[in-house]
Structure 1
Amino acid sequence: MTDLTPPIFDGHNDILLKLWRAEQEGRSPEALFRDGAHGHLDLPRMKAGGFCGGFFALFAPSAGMSMDMSGDSYDLPLPPLMARDEALAANIAQAGILLRLERLGHLRILRRAADLPAAIEAGEVAAILHLEGADCIDPEFRALDVLQGAGLRSLGPVWSRDNIWAHGAPFRFPSSPDTGPGLTEAGRELVRQCDARRIMIDLSHLTEAGFWDVAEVSGRPLVATHSNVHALCPHARNLTDRQLDAVKERGGMVGVNLATAFLRADGKMDAEETLDAVAAHFVYLVERMGEDCVGLGSDFDGARIPTPIKDVAGLPALRAALRGAGFDGAVLEKLCWKNWARVLGETWGA
């Protein structure tokens, strides 16, 4: 019998982007979520893998961008600033899909930290509405008001494409994450606004300078929802030991990203036939930061995932790999979901 315990809560997925694109092609996102779809995520496979929920990202894509990370080294050109109206249209449409899925009873949008254990107990998929790149937010924060009212509880100021708030870490290998400036003055105010509203700030995709800017401005735990260990994979998207130490000091979290380019020592978004690299990142993070600051940040539906997992139904393979690395019992529960529950409570309040 497949082991579906502990349940797994995930720091990042891109299913809303996938469903939005399907809707643009005339297909029903609700039916695809309910009955099964291509890619990594849908409701039947979530249930099959013991997936209890996670951060569901709103993301406005740029047309025609190459994500080829197959070379021995690379530095992908990033698209220019996206128009606010373009980003807002995409993000509102994606948020609308998530709200409809909740209305149909397919999941529960988390608006309070206390709702996560209750959703797990009820066997519901718990979704955090997350904004990956605040390109749609205006300087007066009116769009932030609306999205917060819809359930937004987590925000990354920038994807790797720069915006008015911050500079993004490029898809560059090998590279330090110290690739340029961090937050703008407007970005500092965005962080203050999010702190006041108890919206979590996501450090993934920020430059190292941006990471330290958030650490200076924000009083909340430092959280990187889907980032890995730079010492194991020297990619600009990964975190240095000094950054990991700061996350630990602030009682934050790092979600291990299953994208192979951020796992493999050679930085290639290529096939990965074992979970040895995944386990190595978990082990390194726990040894560096302790058992309370580490979880999963899969990047399902946004990246190439190791073959033994393949999609969300393959999460039992991840549990087995973590057990094989020496994690079991209460520690495994922390890595699978309880650490996320803790940091949500400390960021959002009860």
Structure 2
Amino acid sequence: MTQPIPVFDGHNDFLLRLVQAPEAREQLWLERGDEGHLDLPRMREGGFAGGLFAIFVPSPDEPGAPNINELMANPPYDVPLPPLMNAPAALPVALAEAALLLWMERAAPEDFTVCRTAGEIRTAMDAGRIAGVMHMEGAEAIDGNLDTLHAFHAMGLRSLGPVWSRPTIFGHGVPFRFPAAPDIGPGLTDTGKALVRECNALGILVDLSHLNEAGFDDVAKISDAPLVASHSNAHACAPTPRNLTDRQLSMIAETGGIAGLNFATFFLREDGGGVTDCGWDPVLRHMDHLLERLGEDHLGFGSDFDGCLVPDVIGDVTGLPGLLDALRTHGYDEPLLRKIAHENWINVLERTIG
């Protein structure tokens, strides 16, 4: 296997793992483990050079509620969405996850840096440090006056998705449904439109993954920044509303944006299933379609590590070199691989967060 090309990844949920096990945070971050997808030693082994680390606030567990992966295991499915969560309920968890990202830097200052600009990402990568960018997946912790948006920006927030899948005061997400299209529900609220404008003003990337089609179109009308879907695949290859239509992919390319391939089997497999013993074929099919629709300057990775089931051939972050080798064998040359692995992400971040 060749020397790994550094990978900058558009999405992971490692902070959720940390916040759910605070007593084990040193072990989960600093020691090589065999659970989950990420830790510092495995990132080093896999050539993980940086990425967007998501702040995500899970819905409160209801007694006896089934696991979402179990509900999605046998398509077709239509998983009920949790109700809207208000900012006072979401804020404590969001703050704890933001604090954990900052702690990760303190715990391993020679290995990890929280970055606020594309220049800082490049500097960290050149120095051999992993570059972490604070992202928010679902803006439940942001109040209607957007005061907490400014507070999180001061802490380092540089990327934000207005919704996960449950509704927020800003807009509506797509459901966990298969098969289905993303043309589901109304667009952004007036508060959501104000959020997009303020993100533009602050230099916060607006992430379109999880947003429904009407909301996607509203962002496209309002935003003066490149359109970005951090972890979304091709609807033409797997008809789930979490994936992007060809029209949406063309809009992303036209604005100089990027879409990151999501490794989740539910969004890779043509049958919408969660079986992980699926080989490279679903990955290669989506990559080829995304490359055709987006062009070589607008495609990256958005793994969803620690937030999903991934193909066995990837396994965890140490599978990134194998993924690049599979693409290489499939016919992707070295300049294209470098673009997909990190250059495209850093270029679009330079044009969004500065």
Would you call these one fold, judging by a TM-score over 0.5?
yes
Number of the residue aligned with 2:25: 29
> Aligned match of 1:298 in 286, 303, 310?
303
Alignment of 1:119 with 2:149, yes or no, is no
Number of the residue aligned with 2:43: 46
Contact conserved, 2:91 with 2:141, CA < 8 A, in 1?
yes
Contact conserved, 1:113 with 1:344, CA < 8 A, in 2?
yes
Contact conserved, 1:283 with 1:325, CA < 8 A, in 2?
no
Q: Give the Cα separation in 1 of the matches to 2:124 and 2:333.
A: 23
Deviation, structure 1 residue 325:
2.1
Number of the residue aligned with 2:151: 146
Q: Give the Cα separation in 1 of the matches to 2:210 and 2:223.
A: 17
Amino acid at match of 1:78: L
Counting matched residue pairs gives 345
Amino acid at match of 1:93: A
Number of the residue aligned with 2:106: 103
Deviation, structure 1 residue 11:
0.5
Contact conserved, 1:226 with 1:254, CA < 8 A, in 2?
yes
Contact conserved, 1:182 with 1:206, CA < 8 A, in 2?
no
Deviation, structure 1 residue 31:
3.1
Q: Which segments of 5 or more consecutive residues in structure 2 lack a partner in the other structure?
A: none
Deviation, structure 1 residue 48:
0.6
Alignment of 1:254-333 (within 5 A): 254-333=259-338
Q: Secondary structure at the match of 2:352?
A: helix
Number of the residue aligned with 1:92: 95
Deviations 1:194-245 (A, max 9, x none): 0000100000000011100100010100000000000000001000000011
Number of the residue aligned with 1:173: 178
Deviation, structure 1 residue 61:
0.1
Q: Secondary structure at the match of 1:70?
A: coil
Q: Give the Cα separation in 1 of the matches to 2:72 and 2:217.
A: 27
Number of the residue aligned with 2:77: 74
Q: Give the Cα separation in 1 of the matches to 2:3 and 2:251.
A: 33
Amino acid at match of 2:52: F
Contact conserved, 1:260 with 1:272, CA < 8 A, in 2?
no
Q: CA RMSD in A?
A: 1.1
Q: Give the Cα separation in 2 of the matches to 1:153 and 1:247.
A: 19
> Aligned match of 1:346 in 330, 348, 351?
351
Which of structure 1's runs of 4+ aligned residues deviate more than 4 A? none
Q: Give the Cα separation in 2 of the matches to 1:308 and 1:158.
A: 30
Amino acid at match of 1:328: D
Q: TM-score, length-normalised on structure 1?
A: 0.96
Number of the residue aligned with 1:244: 249
Contact conserved, 1:48 with 1:313, CA < 8 A, in 2?
yes
Deviation, structure 1 residue 150:
0.7
Alignment of 1:149-168 (within 5 A): 149-168=154-173
Contact conserved, 2:328 with 2:334, CA < 8 A, in 1?
no
Q: Which segments of 5 or more consecutive residues in structure 1 lack a partner in the other structure?
A: none
Q: Give the Cα separation in 2 of the matches to 1:157 and 1:263.
A: 23
> Equivalent pairs: percent with the same residue?
50
Deviation, structure 1 residue 3:
3.1
Deviations 1:312-339 (A, max 9, x none): 0111111111112211221110000000
Q: Give the Cα separation in 1 of the matches to 2:143 and 2:280.
A: 42
Alignment of 1:8 with 2:7, yes or no, is yes
Which deviates more, 39-48 or 106-115? 106-115
Q: Secondary structure at the match of 1:187?
A: helix
Number of the residue aligned with 1:222: 227
